[in-house]
Structures are given as C-alpha cells and as structure tokens.
Homo-oligomer: A and B are copies of this chain.
Amino acid sequence: MLNHLPSEVKIIEVGPRDGLQNEKTVLDTQTKLEYIRLLSKTGLKTIEATSFVRADKIPQMGDAKALYEGVQSLSLDSSISTPCLVPNLKGLDLALECGVGEIAVFTATSDTFNMKNINASVDESLTRLAPVIDKAKSEGLKVRGYISTVFGCPYEGETSLENLFKVSHFLEKAGCYEISLGDTIGVGHPVLVKNVISELDREFDISLFAMHFHDTSGTALANILTSLEYGIKAFDSSSAGLGGCPYAKGATGNVATEDVINLLHSMGVSTGVDMELLTEASTYILSSLKKHSSSKFYNAYLGRKS
C-alpha cells in the first residue's frame, strides 16, 4: 500500500457550481465572479463556473449567462478551464452563445434518482445526452461526463455496476475526455471504491475517470487514498467544502478542496495549488454566504493563524 502514489494529481474545483448550487443563500453575480477570480489565482487549472439550467429550477444558477460573460471579462490565463454544466440542447445553445469552451453533462446509475432529478430513466437520459454531446463536439467543445449515485443511491440504496458500465461506455464513445464518478450521498467506503475501480479497470483505461466524493460520512479522504492506489489521478472537490447534502440535514456534501490538497501535499503529491490563496478564496465566499466551513483542515489552518 502507498507504493503507487502519483507525483501529481489534478483537482477539479466545483465550488462555484456544484458547491454554490447546494447553498440556500443566492449570491449576486459579482460575488460569484470575485470567488472565481480568487480561485483562478490559486493554481487551480479547472474551475467549474456555472450551470445553464432553468433559473426557476436552480435560482443560484439563474445568472449563468451574465456569470459566464463576467468570467470571460476576467481574461483568465489560457491554462485555466472553466467548464459549465449543461442539462440539454437548450442549455448547450446558451453555453455556445456565451462562448463556453468546455461543458459537462450528467446522468446517474440509478433509475429512481434520474427520474426524480431529470424525469428520465438511465437509458432515456443517454438518448437525451447523445445529441448534446454530438453537437458540443462538432462545435469544438471539450465534454466531461458526470455519473451520479455510483456508490449508492438515496432511493435505491446499492446501485448497479451494470448501469455504471453502460453509462461509462456511452460517455466514452460519445467523446467525453473524462468521466467523473460521483458518490452522491457519501456512502462510498474504501472496499467499495477498490471494487468499483477494479471492475472498471477490466474494460477501461482508468485514466478516463475522475472521482467526485462527498464527505457526508467523513470517508472522502480514505476513499481518495484508495483511489490513488488504484490509479485515479483526478478529483473533484469544492473549496471550503461548499455545498451541503440535500439528503441529510446539516450534513457535509462535496469533500473540501483544502482537505484533499492537504492530504496530497503532505504525502508529497503535488497539485499546483497554493493553500494560502485557496483559503483566501474560501474565506471570501464563506463570508458572503455567512456560513462556517465543513473542512477540518480549513478550520484548523485558520485556527492556528488566529
């Protein structure tokens, strides 16, 4: 164990989209832009900016167009990618209008979860996604795929490896450059993570996958450690652990970027991210949201400074 640590790992910062989307306090566009600007100074190379969804469905993302125009006016370094979530062709068209260079599409391995989330079964969701990915690719966009409920579903419990294979094959063939496997309710544990990756390893190049762990049960870093050992080199996380868990009141959602980066850096795995600058971005957005961080490392880091 720990004989296969990579020298470098990619962090996909999802705070401005996945994080904020699960925060009740709706922020104005300028605040979100300043958060993205601060994040862009940290060394993070992928910062998920927003989601082109219906404003009545997710008010926090209601300003996607203005937000993305603001991101463009920041003139970020060309090495920084700012993908946007797109649920359907309408969302894609909006994203194209705004000059988005990378999109993310999403589905899940659980039919019940998908029905409640997007009113489509797993199979139907793939039928819907096909033209979205096709069009995005033909327009020259990079496409990333999200698969939710890979380690468990809030409605169905255990989820199907068969569906995971089906969806992964579909997304790969459709042209996604990376597939992010989501532990939507934070029930993944190291043995399950090992088993899922080992199964995928039989049919896929494992470098196709990123892991998206929620820290709802406190197991995210143990799961990341396990994933590293089995060849995963890309992880989604949100600064300060923004975004709660909609399935358990007061519980933690996305694993915090600070916790992930501290784990990696302490083991000698580089991420290119500056912890001090990252905590500054987190402090800014936490104060805008008037909330505390769920990140143990962030709290200790700030506590030691005070």
Give the B-binding residues of A (Cβ under 8 A).
1-2, 5, 186-187, 189-192, 194, 215-219, 221-222, 224-226, 229-230, 245, 247-252, 256, 259, 262-263, 266-268, 294-297, 299-304, 306
B225 and A190 contact, CB distance less than 8 A: yes
Please, how many angstroms separate the alpha-carbon atoms of A226 and B295 in the complex? 21
B299 and A250 contact, CB distance less than 8 A: yes
Instruction: Across the A-B interface, give the 4 residue pairs with the lowest CB-CB distance, nearest first.
Output: A248-B303, A218-B296, A251-B300, A189-B266
A303 and B245 contact, CB distance less than 8 A: yes
B262 and A217 contact, CB distance less than 8 A: yes
Please, how many angstroms separate the alpha-carbon atoms of A162 and B267 in the complex? 22
- What are 28 inter-chain pairs, A to B, with CB distance below 8 A? A1-B1, A1-B2, A2-B191, A186-B300, A187-B266, A189-B263, A189-B266, A191-B267, A192-B266, A215-B296, A216-B296, A217-B259, A217-B263, A218-B221, A218-B263, A219-B262, A219-B266, A221-B221, A222-B224, A225-B225, A245-B300, A247-B304, A248-B300, A251-B296, A251-B300, A251-B304, A252-B299, A252-B300
Closest residue of chain B to A248, judged by CB?
A: B303
Please, how many angstroms separate the alpha-carbon atoms of A194 and B194 in the complex? 19
Please, how many angstroms separate the alpha-carbon atoms of A245 and B226 in the complex? 27
State how many angstroms separate the Cβ of A240 from the closest Cβ of chain B.
12
